[in-house]
Structure 1
């Protein structure tokens, strides 16, 4: 049986098969930060509280990663096996904008302002055969937006 493991500790957790981003919120000015920080870059206050960030937002901007990042630390396919992927900033209302992978990279399917949801995205298998995953943002399906499940 394959176990799913996060690509790194402390940036997100997997709960019931879904990712939860782990951030902080400044107790002085309400600024949200991701990943977690011990000091606020906005007001320089040093008291933060851990928060779980929203799992839905809107696509603020995006691009396509058309070449493999430097490996290591990149864990995905390289060389002829590399497949371009979308990268974007998703605005989590009332919190912040989070940079992350997008599940699609077709420019015809990506529109600034479109609703997005947080999902798990497989990267590779580790030496123990575990599925290494990261978080990514996927477009919210039209049926989900309209409440129509047909």
Structure 2
């Protein structure tokens, strides 16, 4: 599943939405050294071999570190609101088991809501609305409701 009739993905080839509407990230795994990469790559930065296979990455992990994006990033590539409509948001790295650390937008962004080492899960996040009225969707990570890593 790519997106519903009223949704469009922010970029092709980075992720898809599963049947429940949850993002699934596309990564690579080096068949020589087992290094995992995101986004997909044609060569391994660890061993320099070019024997990658495409894989789907885990949908849950652990918050490795985070900060707050307190001002609008440069557009493009940023697609969200700027000026008075901008709202700060969390940005961090989520460690997906023994696969890879993924730089990601977070659904929350205050010290009261985030703690390094907490369990996180991937969710769909609407960035903006395009000219045709479709929601432009990306992936983000949110604290898990149970605190469990799966």
State the TM-score bracket (shorter-chain normalisation): over 0.9
**Tell me, which stretches of 5 or more residues in structure 2 are unaligned?**
none
Unaligned stretches of 5+ in structure 1? Answer: 146-150
1:128 equivalent in alignment to 2:132: yes
Which whole-Å CA distance do the structure 1 matches of 2:88 and 2:24 have between them? Answer: 25
Work out which of the residue numbers 11, 14, 22 in structure 2 matches 1:11.
14
**Structure 2 counterparts to residues 57-136 of structure 1, below 5 A:** 57-136=61-140
Is the 8 Å Cα contact of residues 118 and 138 (structure 1) preserved in structure 2? yes
Name the structure 2 match of 1:148. none
Instruction: Name the one with the larger helix percent.
Output: 1
Q: How many residues align?
A: 144
Q: Is the 8 A contact 1:2 1:131 kept in 2?
A: no
- Is 2:35 the partner of 1:26? no
Q: Distance in 1 between matches of 2:123 and 2:23?
A: 6
Deviation at 1:5, TM superposition (A): 1.4
Secondary structure of the corresponding residue to residue 74 of structure 1: coil
Secondary structure of 2:78's aligned partner = coil
Runs of 4+ in 1 over 6 A off after TM superposition: none
| Structure-to-structure mapping, 1:19-58, within 5 angstroms | 19-58=23-62
Residue pair 1:58, 1:90 contacting (<8 A) in 2 also: yes
Contact 1:59/1:111 (<8 A) preserved: yes
- Tell me how large the CA RMSD over aligned residues is: 1.2
- SS across alignment from 2:112: helix
- TM-score, normalised on structure 2? 0.93
Contact 1:21/1:53 (8 A) holds in 2: yes
